[in-house]
Copies of this chain bind each other. A is one copy, B any other.
Amino acid sequence: MTATPSPASPTADLLARLADLLGPSGILTETSDVAPYCTDWRSLYHGRAAAVLRPASTAELAQAVSLCAAAGVAMVPQGGNTSMVGGATPDESGRDIVVCLSRMNRVRRIDPLDHTMDIEAGVTLKAAQDAAREAGLMLPLSISSEGSAQIGGVLATNAGGNNTVRYGNARELVLGLEVVLPDGSVFNGLRRLRKDNTGYALRQLFVGSEGTLGFITSAILQLQPQPRAVEAALCAVAGAGAALALFSAFRAQDPALIQAFEYMSGAGMDLVTRLVPGTSLPLAEPAPAYVLVELATPRRNAGLRTVLEDVLAGMFEAGTVSDAVIAESEGQRLALWKLREEHAEAQRRAGASVKNDVSVPVSRVPELIDRASAACAALIPGIRPVPFGHIGDGNIHFNLVQPEGMDPAAFLAQDHRIMDTVAAIVRDLDGSFSAEHGVGRLKPYMMPDWRGGAELATMRRIKDAIDPHGLMNPGTLFPPAG
């Protein structure tokens, strides 16, 4: 493999030409204007950038990329800047140009017969959801950052979230894609076809490529009917094994009814209800673990409540579920979700924590939780494992809160030992070191070990073929060559 030359610094001439092309609202070069784009939202990554480009159209972006490519200047795509892994932050060289598509923010068309949405990259996920809803449809992708996250970033990182169990990841929603390639040429794959076997599925390559192969500028997304019936319940269970038995029981009824299936530990629930105001456990007594299940269907009179009650009754009888509460109103449903969603806030209030966004085959979640909890406790006595999340997808946020009374900095000094401990068990269970969040700048060092050999070699070949000068989001996804 040939060594990729280092990207060049933008010259004053290049910046002037970009300013000419994009106009005053299309480029930022003042340090104070550029600064907000150089730090991720959690303030964990700090870079520098020579400029921020804000093109207003695909044509403008294509021309700007051509200019940057000709000058050998590296570009960092940034959507809503909500990456969990520093995937949209420029490096410290000050040579990168950040490119932001937030001005390309039109929902161009929603087709009620095709159930498709033609949308630009800069629309926030929330705005896209709202547009679908106003058209009587649903964009079935929901993540906690949806108010800021933009469609381009959502697709570039193959976002997951609470509804993946029913509708798949972002990848599964994409029918068509338009991409500005690293040389400024435009791949127009904005097709809204459900069947199209005419060559390589390029859109699938760009989805999840974390901005290392080009700029996703717009997409055709597949929509769904809006649910007309929703039922939610919080169930007390003995642990992850029981949670999976409950999942199997609902799935045996009909997997298409399961809109969300979330696991929470007793420890996590205890933190939430003790530390977050306005929360309380709506069950008679605490349990070792909980499941928040949400069933939904667009069909009226589908007997959804009966499904819920029948499955729960069977699981009570089998001893799998010890107690459960069914939401009797939208307010109660939201209160159940609050218990799940405040896990992050509860951890923050409990002190320092280390987060692991990992996945294993669904069947192996109980083993993951048992083994990783024990291993972390052996490492740091008193550590508080707070595993929670999308158990129906095998995707557990295996987070660990510091022991009570421990110095937070001393705890965080061990973050890599903790992460490595969890990772080793995930590895042993044939899992992944990043389920939803991607690789970004945080985890490229793990790639050779986990995705090495022919897999990483093939990824590099593709990267070199499409971005031969290494100008797209350098430092992201791939470890340094060598």
Q: Which residues of A contact B (CB under 8 A)?
A: 111, 113-116, 157-158, 160, 164-165, 168-169, 171-172, 181, 185-189, 191-202, 204-205, 207-209, 213, 224-225, 244, 248, 251-257, 297-299, 301-303, 307, 359-363, 390, 393-395, 430-439, 443, 446-447, 450-451, 453-459, 461-462, 464-466, 477
Q: How far apart are A344's CB and chain B's nearest CB, in angstroms? A: 18
Contact indicator B114/A195 (Cβ below 8 Å): no
Chain B, residue nearest A192 (CB): B361
23 interchain pairs (CB within 8 A)? A111-B363, A113-B244, A164-B194, A165-B194, A185-B453, A187-B453, A191-B430, A192-B361, A196-B434, A197-B434, A197-B439, A198-B434, A198-B450, A200-B205, A201-B204, A201-B208, A205-B205, A205-B462, A225-B252, A254-B299, A256-B256, A458-B466, A462-B465
Contact indicator B456/A199 (Cβ below 8 Å): yes
Contact indicator B204/A111 (Cβ below 8 Å): no
Give A188 to B200 CA distance when docked, in angstroms.
20
Give A224 to B158 CA distance when docked, in angstroms.
23
Give A50 to B437 CA distance when docked, in angstroms.
49
Give A200 to B114 CA distance when docked, in angstroms.
29
Contact indicator A298/B111 (Cβ below 8 Å): no
Chain B, residue nearest A253 (CB): B299
Contact indicator A393/B194 (Cβ below 8 Å): yes
Contact indicator B195/A459 (Cβ below 8 Å): no
Q: Please give 13 more A-B residue pairs, beta carbons under 8 A apart, in addition to A193-B359, A193-B435.
A: A113-B362, A165-B194, A185-B457, A187-B455, A195-B435, A197-B439, A200-B213, A200-B458, A200-B459, A201-B204, A205-B462, A225-B251, A256-B256
Contact indicator B199/A439 (Cβ below 8 Å): yes
Known: A187-B458, A301-B303, A430-B192. A198 touches B113 (CB 8 A): no
Give A11 to B301 CA distance when docked, in angstroms.
70
Q: How far apart are A136's CB and chain B's nearest CB, in angstroms? A: 9
Give A362 to B244 CA distance when docked, in angstroms.
38
Q: How far apart are A108's CB and chain B's nearest CB, in angstroms? A: 14
Q: How far apart are A285's CB and chain B's nearest CB, in angstroms? A: 29
Known: A254-B299, A256-B256. A171 touches B361 (CB 8 A): no
Chain B, residue nearest A432 (CB): B196
User: Which residues of chain B are near A213, meaning CB under 8 Å?
Assistant: 200
User: Which residues of chain B are near A307, meaning CB under 8 Å?
Assistant: 299
User: Which residues of chain B are near A114, meaning CB under 8 Å?
Assistant: 361-363, 394
Which of B252, B394, B453, B455 is close to A199, meaning CB atoms less than 8 Å apart? Answer: B455
Contact indicator A208/B202 (Cβ below 8 Å): no
Q: How far apart are A394's CB and chain B's nearest CB, in angstroms? A: 6
Give A299 to B308 CA distance when docked, in angstroms.
12
Contact indicator B455/A461 (Cβ below 8 Å): no
Q: How far apart are A9's CB and chain B's nearest CB, in angstroms? A: 27
| Interface core residue of A171, A198, A434, A454 (most chain B CB under 10 Å) | A198
Give A359 to B478 CA distance when docked, in angstroms.
37
Which of B164, B189, B443 is close to A455, meaning CB atoms less than 8 Å apart? Answer: B189
Give A409 to B122 CA distance when docked, in angstroms.
55
Q: How far apart are A438's CB and chain B's nearest CB, in angstroms? A: 4
User: Which residues of chain B are near A432, meaning CB under 8 Å?
Assistant: 191, 193, 195-198
User: Which residues of chain B are near A434, meaning CB under 8 Å?
Assistant: 196-198
Q: How far apart are A398's CB and chain B's nearest CB, in angstroms? A: 13
User: Which residues of chain B are near A113, meaning CB under 8 Å?
Assistant: 244, 248, 362-363
Which of B186, B196, B303, B451 is close to A303, meaning CB atoms less than 8 Å apart? Answer: B303
Q: How far apart are A357's CB and chain B's nearest CB, in angstroms? A: 9
Q: How far apart are A255's CB and chain B's nearest CB, in angstroms? A: 7
Chain B, residue nearest A85 (CB): B197
Give A342 to B467 CA distance when docked, in angstroms.
50
Give A255 to B227 CA distance when docked, in angstroms.
11
| Interface core residue of A213, A437, A454 (most chain B CB under 10 Å) | A454
User: Which residues of chain B are near A192, meaning CB under 8 Å?
Assistant: 361, 430
Give A395 to B196 CA distance when docked, in angstroms.
9
Q: How far apart are A212's CB and chain B's nearest CB, in angstroms? A: 8
